[in-house]
Amino acid sequence: MSENALEDVESFRARAKEFIHANLRPSVGPSFGMRDVGSMEVELALVEHDRALQRALYEAGLAGVCVPKEYGGQGLTPAHQRALNDAISGFEYPGRFQAPTFSPCMAVLLDFGTEEQKQAHIPAMLRGEELWMQFLSEPSGGSDVAGALTNAVRDGDEWVMNGSKIWTTGAWWSDWALCLARTNWDVEKHRGLTVFIFPIHQAGIEIRRIEMLNGSKEFCEEFITDLRIPDSDRVGDVDEGWTVGTRWMMHERTLMNSSYVTMPAGRSEGGGRIGDALAIAAAAGKQDDPVVQDLLGELEVLELVSNALQRRLGDGMRAGTMSPQASAIGRLFHGSAGVRSGSILFEIVGAAGGAWEDEDGELAERGVDFLMRQIGSIGGGTTEIARNVISERVLGMPRERAVDKGIAFRDVPRGPSSQHSEA
């Protein structure tokens, strides 16, 4: 494709704006604290709406802005993606497709998938037909994703998989999975992994919805029993899954700056709480309390700084003056600021944080949000791991002593709390 053929950014922006204003509804405000959205029927309807939105964007030539045309994308540049992000700001958008379907899943397929895999799945994603999920974390694993115990054994042209995965958002309404599994126990941890893809809804995969303490059932756990996967659904080489995994993690960490992801500009996960906070303060009758004003100011400062920091990191990584590992700085800030913001909101709520009536409006349910205060420091890689990455990869400090280096994975100590079914 010659560069001349590219649509210029401003005309793209105009085209995007026109479509968006004509077809999309204004967004409802961000909601925090990961509350229960309601019944399964309600949630399924929301998923179907996202599929329809994605389909509409696809038909308008606004899906997969930076995806090559041969896979159904627009073959344009990050600048076009940013123009779309600007244009869609304040409007609804197919949020469930962005992460993890477009990144990291689609990004990993673009990096490592076979031509057949790309042709089979990327256009389907862009048309809103395939929602993907990451089968990555495991119950025994915590932060050590490369320590996967889910096991895949070769059987002719197929693989047989057993194990379990956890913290998969909405596995029950998704279509395909990108899965990291162990294929060799006799080599070092990182050298015995392989990546596979497979449809989620089939015999051999049992899905359990996990109830969080606030009633949300957003996450699932999957039990995989004698699942058969054709070798053609392997991504990357056998036992080279960590090569794929490293890029996969990188795509996950740089999600906020991904050119595959449509994310209304000015929106960031940690942001937007000041409106909530002002409403809470008003409901509590404390908007003029100087201590509350101090807290409100702190909350807003954290949000402004968060936005400035994400912009700085994005600029630095794009310009190459910062390594992709610097995204861990944004992750740590987001986690820490989220914890502090959660405390501030709870402080302002006052007594209604412990017990409330439905009529309390903005004050109701805030205590439950506080119980979930840490969620932003746990989900998507803990802040502890981010601190390791920053100190070791960004600042170059000595790595932690790795007990699991230089020995076969089957011999790595796993402690009394971890049982697993080994090959």
Give the footprint of a second copy on this chain (CB under 8 A).
Answer: 289-291, 294, 401
| Cα–Cα dist 125/102, whole Å | 8
CA dihedral of residues 196, 202, 205, 206 (deg, nearest 10): 150
Using CB under 8 A, pick the residue from 90, 232, 301, 421 that binds another protein.
301
Binding-site string for another protein from residue 256 to residue 275, where x marks contact by CB under 8 A and - marks none = ------------------xx
Q: Which C-beta is closer to a second copy: that of 145 or that of 281? A: 281
Q: Which C-beta is closer to another protein: that of 56 or that of 322? A: 322
Cβ atoms of residues 327 and 317 within 8 Å: yes
Residues 213-242 that bind another protein (CB under 8 A): 213-215, 219
Which amino acid does the sequence have at 417? S
Cβ atoms of residues 309 and 333 within 8 Å: yes
Residues 367-386 that bind another protein (CB under 8 A): 367-368, 370-375, 377-379, 382-384, 386
Q: Tell me how far, at minimum, the Cβ of 354 lies from another protein, in Å.
A: 3
Q: Which does 372 bind (CB under 5 to 8 A by kind): a second copy, another protein, none?
A: another protein
Q: Which does 219 bind (CB under 5 to 8 A by kind): a second copy, another protein, none?
A: another protein
Q: What is the CA radius of gyration of the chain?
A: 22
Cβ atoms of residues 195 and 179 within 8 Å: yes
Cβ atoms of residues 260 and 239 within 8 Å: no
Q: Tell me how far, at minimum, the Cβ of 190 lies from a second copy, in Å.
A: 22
Q: Tell me how far, at minimum, the Cβ of 419 lies from another protein, in Å.
A: 12
Under the binding rule (CB under 8 A), the answer on residue 206 touching another protein is no
Using CB under 8 A, pick the residue from 23, 392, 408, 410 that binds another protein.
392
Q: Which does 157 bind (CB under 5 to 8 A by kind): another protein, a second copy, none?
A: none
Q: Which does 287 bind (CB under 5 to 8 A by kind): another protein, a second copy, none?
A: another protein
Q: Tell me how far, at minimum, the Cβ of 274 lies from another protein, in Å.
A: 6
Q: Which C-beta is closer to a second copy: that of 320 or that of 398? A: 398
Under the binding rule (CB under 8 A), the answer on residue 170 touching another protein is no
- The backbone torsions φ and ψ at residue 34, rounded to the nearest 5 degrees and listed phi first, read 50, 55
Cβ atoms of residues 190 and 202 within 8 Å: no
Q: Tell me how far, at minimum, the Cβ of 179 lies from another protein, in Å.
A: 18
Q: Tell me how far, at minimum, the Cβ of 12 lies from another protein, in Å.
A: 26
Binding-site string for another protein from residue 306 to residue 325, where x marks contact by CB under 8 A and - marks none = x-xx-xxx-xx--x-xx---
Distances (CA, A) of 89 to 7, 20, 84, 98: 21, 10, 9, 15
Residue 236: CB atoms within 10 Å: 22
Distances (CA, A) of 148 to 86, 137, 152, 242, 269: 39, 8, 11, 11, 28
Under the binding rule (CB under 8 A), the answer on residue 333 touching another protein is yes
Q: Angle at which helices 273-283 and 290-319 pack, to 10 degrees?
A: 170
- Tell me the two tokens of residue 122: 């990327």
